[in-house]
């Protein structure tokens, strides 16, 4: 269910340092600094939650002012719902990095994750910055993957290498996320980097495409965080310049970035709070993608569907009810088909005559399951990943602040 962290190839021109600042717990990695070489370009997407966290606001502002040189990421406290003091605290954190590293405040992007509504513990956080900077190393990805976790049970990373014009280009990323997952423009925290060189506009296009098919297609519990952020960074140290949106090089790089983002997104769902199953919801034959997504998310967010998956109960009526209440107008019920993997559950408006409970049970007993819905209305398709809803999800979130 939860694979081990794979090999994470270093990205030339980028270094990561991790420290224990004691923000929420003693002796736990909770502070990460990422250093970018000069002239690196950065693309970003952030949460659309109206109550976005202070570091999101500050990071957005700094991105409009100059090219970033450092990222500062803390866990244990979200610095969200903290008003003007939260904004001032986020800037103070940037000052701490700037003073230690010798750069401008605006060249630092802050990121936070953890409990909402509590003041950021500035003193231990700022005191931990020098140690994180002293630990900067190109092979610091593994430590950083652990240093950004909150309720996650495993670190999450992915890495790909590809050939462009006979040279090796690397794409590596890490992410954190386990609960409060229904991204809106991003997902929790994710940092992806490449050593190719791209102008900011192309880099943003690459990131937007990757996020649309990965982080924006997952849901653990239907909640969008106040702190969601995803960054794609290009250091240019491979000497491969990708400057044409219509080139084969750009297409190949976008494929690699999308692959890394998809692997990180799947890792988040697999590590959903209390999750025991990875569920893929595929909706096809819709009139448009929006309609397909509407049906897919209705299934993915249904507590009754998710608890049935946790119990390994082939109670397909819950899935059928979710399709029926998804708001699709003029739905021809006799034409809709519903499958668990390759087992047909519903056709012609009711249970498939050939369906046997044993076949449905065999699918439900698996750790990874595909729900397939055919709407018979067109050629559109959409896919969403989610997980089951277990006792542990309630326990983890009931005890989150204790």
Provide the residue ranges of all domains of the chain, joining segments of one domain with +.
Answer: 14-270, 278-398
Residues 17/133, Cβ–Cβ less than 8 Å = yes
What is the band of 394 on the pLDDT scale with cuts at 50, 70, 90? Answer: confident
Which tens digit of pLDDT belongs to each residue from 231-241? 999 999 998 99
CATH architecture of the domain 14-270 equals 4-Layer Sandwich (3.60)
- Phi-psi map region of 197: left, alpha, beta (phi>0 left; psi -120 to 50 alpha): beta
Which tens digit of pLDDT belongs to each residue from 144-163? 999 999 889 899 999 999 99
Catalytic (active site) residue 298 = no
Q: What was the pLDDT predicted at 49?
A: 86
Among candidate residues 187, 224, 226, 298, the one labeled active-site is: 187
pLDDT higher than threshold 80 for residue 227: yes
What is the fold, at CATH topology level, of the domain defined by 278-398? Ubiquitin-like (UB roll) (3.10.20)
> How much is the average pLDDT of 176-181?
79
Mean pLDDT across the chain: 94
* Three-class secondary structure assignment of 226-272: CCCEEEEEECCCCCCECCCCCCHHHHHHHHHHHHHHHHHHHHHHHCC
Share of the chain above pLDDT 70, in %: 98
Here the contacts of 88-96 (C-beta below 8 Å, separation 24 or greater) are: 89/54, 89/119, 89/120, 89/122, 90/54, 90/55, 90/57, 90/58, 90/120, 91/58, 92/122, 92/126, 93/55, 93/120, 93/122, 93/125, 93/126, 93/129, 94/58, 94/62, 96/72, 96/125, 96/126, 96/129
Least confident residue range of 82-91, 196-205, 215-224: 215-224
* Three-class secondary structure assignment of 269-292: HHCCCCCCCEEEEEEEEECCHHHH
The two tokens of residue 190 are: 């994710």
Residues 74/35, Cβ–Cβ less than 8 Å = no
């Amino acid at each position: 269910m939860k694979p081990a962290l794979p090999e994470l190839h270093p990205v030339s021109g980028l270094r990561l340092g991790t420290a224990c600042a004691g923000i929420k717990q003693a002796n736990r990695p909770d502070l990460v600094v990422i250093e970018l070489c000069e002239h690196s370009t950065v693309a970003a997407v952030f949460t659309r939650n109206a109550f976005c966290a202070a570091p999101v606001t500050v990071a957005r502002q700094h991105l409009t002012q100059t090219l970033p040189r450092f990222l500062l990421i803390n866990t244990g406290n979200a610095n969200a719902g903290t008003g003007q003091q939260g904004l001032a605290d986020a800037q103070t954190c940037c000052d701490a990095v700037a003073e230690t590293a010798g750069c401008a405040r605006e060249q630092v992007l802050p990121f936070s994750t953890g409990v909402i509504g509590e003041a950021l513990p500035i003193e231990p956080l700022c005191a931990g910055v020098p140690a994180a900077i002293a630990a900067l190393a190109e092979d610091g990805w593994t430590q950083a993957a652990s240093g950004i976790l909150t309720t996650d049970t495993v670190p999450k990373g992915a890495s790909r290498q590809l050939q462009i014009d006979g040279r090796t280009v690397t794409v590596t990323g890490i992410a954190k996320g386990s609960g409060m997952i229904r991204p809106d423009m991003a997902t929790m925290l994710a940092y992806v980097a490449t050593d190719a060189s791209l102008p900011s506009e192309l880099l943003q296009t690459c990131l937007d495409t990757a996020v649309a098919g990965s982080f924006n297609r997952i849901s653990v519990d239907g909640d969008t965080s106040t702190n969601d952020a995803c960054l794609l960074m290009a250091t240019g140290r491979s000497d491969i310049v990708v400057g044409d949106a219509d080139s084969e090089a750009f297409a190949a790089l976008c494929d690699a970035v999308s692959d890394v983002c998809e692997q990180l997104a799947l890792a988040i769902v697999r590590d959903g709070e209390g999750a025991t199953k990875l569920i893929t919801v595929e909706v096809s034959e819709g009139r448009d993608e929006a309609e397909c997504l509407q049906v897919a998310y209705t299934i993915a967010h249904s507590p009754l569907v998710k608890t049935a998956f946790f119990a390994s109960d082939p109670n397909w009526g819950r899935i059928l009810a979710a399709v029926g209440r998804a708001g699709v107008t003029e739905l021809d019920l006799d034409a809709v088909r519903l499958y668990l993997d390759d087992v047909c559950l519903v056709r012609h408006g009711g249970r498939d005559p050939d369906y046997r409970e044993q076949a449905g049970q065999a699918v439900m007993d698996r750790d990874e399951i595909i729900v397939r819905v055919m709407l018979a209305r067109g050629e559109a398709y959409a896919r969403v990943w989610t997980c089951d809803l277990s006792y542990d999800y309630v326990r983890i979130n009931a005890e989150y602040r204790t």
